[in-house]
Homo-oligomer: A and B are copies of this chain.
Amino acid sequence: MGFQLTGKTILVASVLTLTTSSQGLLTTASKSNGSYRYNFATVPLLAEILKLLISSMLLQRQKHTSPEAARVTRHWRTAVLFLVPSIIYWLHNNVQFVTLKYVDPATYQIMGNLKIVTTGLLLWICLKRQLSLLQWLALALLMIGATVSQVKSGCDTASLLAAPVAGYLFGVLSAFLSAIAAVYTEWVMKRNLDSLYWQNMQLYSFGVAFNALGLTLGDVQQGFEKGVWVFTLFQGYDWVTVLVVANLAFSGLLVSWVMKFADSILKVYATSMAMLVTAVVSVIFFDLAPSLQLVLGILTASISLVLYYINPSVLVETRSSRLPK
């Protein structure tokens, strides 16, 4: 597996599942009458700034508490590697925008599950990670379970199987870009023994820069109609919006930890499970009838989790071989 599934790893992955799940719910709660009263593009920027500040503080603390772990490599060749994820995310956002011209958002969301398998493929091809047949089948089941839960009870589910070819191609491209971003980040975090916090600082610095650039370009495109973003940054913010930013930042820090000390597959499990948790919470909150598809999707994803992570010998032994003779 490349890492030990310790209690700490399970805890981090579980918290990541909860914060990822909260993100969707908080974002919905931050809307007033169905639309944002604040500029939503400021949320990722502020989250990047917050992550940068927290990582910087943690690095300072680490220098005092365990100086041997606070390893720092200062070199432009290392720093420039942290530019790449920002570029991939920017590409991904653009591909997403184009894909949504060909398919509806529900179909796009279902296609997004492809990233579960593409992440496995890229880990295997690029990082030479060895997955067993059981683990490949488990990843396929996670993808199936996520998809089953997303198929609406409505009558238009055939749309996925009848999308235009360009829709599929861009959907697959989008799934590969997600996977490339994850696998690349994992590689860059693990390639040397630098402190996680120092690596984060480099990663988030580029994140801040790219987001600021994006906001500026947006202002230019709109001819500065709404003013300059720097001066309207917190316009329309309330405490829920602050929670949205804080939660996004916290999730991001957890993802970095997972990439350094676990792997992209664990992140994929956490975010897929988060989608199911969100669906369950929505059912409870909005007093909906739970759909059979949701139940079946959760069961499938849970079986997938067991198949992927449980010790294979536990899986294979029969009851008689476990009992004392």
User: Could you list which residues of chain A lie within 8 angstroms of chain B, going by C-beta atoms?
Assistant: 110, 130-134, 137, 140-141, 144, 147-148, 151, 153-155, 157-158, 160-162, 289-293, 295-296, 299-300, 303, 306-307, 310, 312, 314-320
Known contacts A131-B319, A137-B303, A148-B293; 15 further A-B pairs (Cβ under 8 A): A131-B318, A132-B315, A133-B315, A134-B315, A144-B299, A144-B303, A147-B296, A151-B292, A153-B155, A153-B157, A157-B291, A157-B292, A158-B292, A161-B290, A161-B292
Q: Shortest beta-carbon distance, A305 to chain B, in Å?
A: 11
Q: Shortest beta-carbon distance, A265 to chain B, in Å?
A: 14
Q: Is the CB of A157 within 8 A of B293?
A: yes
Q: Is the CB of B303 within 8 A of A130?
A: no
Q: Which residues of B contact A157 (CB under 8 A)?
A: 153, 291-293
- Tell me the nearest residue of chain B to A303, going by C-beta: B137
The answer for the CA separation of A133 and B314 in the assembled complex, in Å, is 7
Report the copy number of this chain in the oligomer.
2
Q: Which residues of B contact A148 (CB under 8 A)?
A: 148, 293, 296
- 13 residue pairs A–B, Cβ–Cβ below 8 Å: A133-B310, A137-B307, A140-B299, A144-B296, A151-B292, A153-B155, A154-B155, A157-B293, A158-B289, A158-B292, A161-B291, A312-B312, A316-B316
Q: Shortest beta-carbon distance, A219 to chain B, in Å?
A: 42
Q: Is the CB of B134 within 8 A of A316?
A: yes
Q: Is the CB of B141 within 8 A of A303?
A: yes
Q: Of B110, B137, B320, which is within 8 A of A130 by CB?
A: B320
Q: Which residues of B contact A300 (CB under 8 A)?
A: 141, 144, 300
Q: Which residues of B contact A141 (CB under 8 A)?
A: 141, 300, 303
- Tell me the nearest residue of chain B to A153, going by C-beta: B157
Q: Which residues of B contact A153 (CB under 8 A)?
A: 153-155, 157-158
Q: Shortest beta-carbon distance, A30 to chain B, in Å?
A: 30
Q: Shortest beta-carbon distance, A72 to chain B, in Å?
A: 34
Q: Shortest beta-carbon distance, A146 to chain B, in Å?
A: 10
Q: Which residues of B contact A134 (CB under 8 A)?
A: 307, 315-316
Q: Which residues of B contact A312 (CB under 8 A)?
A: 312, 315-316
Q: Shortest beta-carbon distance, A276 to chain B, in Å?
A: 14
The answer for the CA separation of A141 and B144 in the assembled complex, in Å, is 11
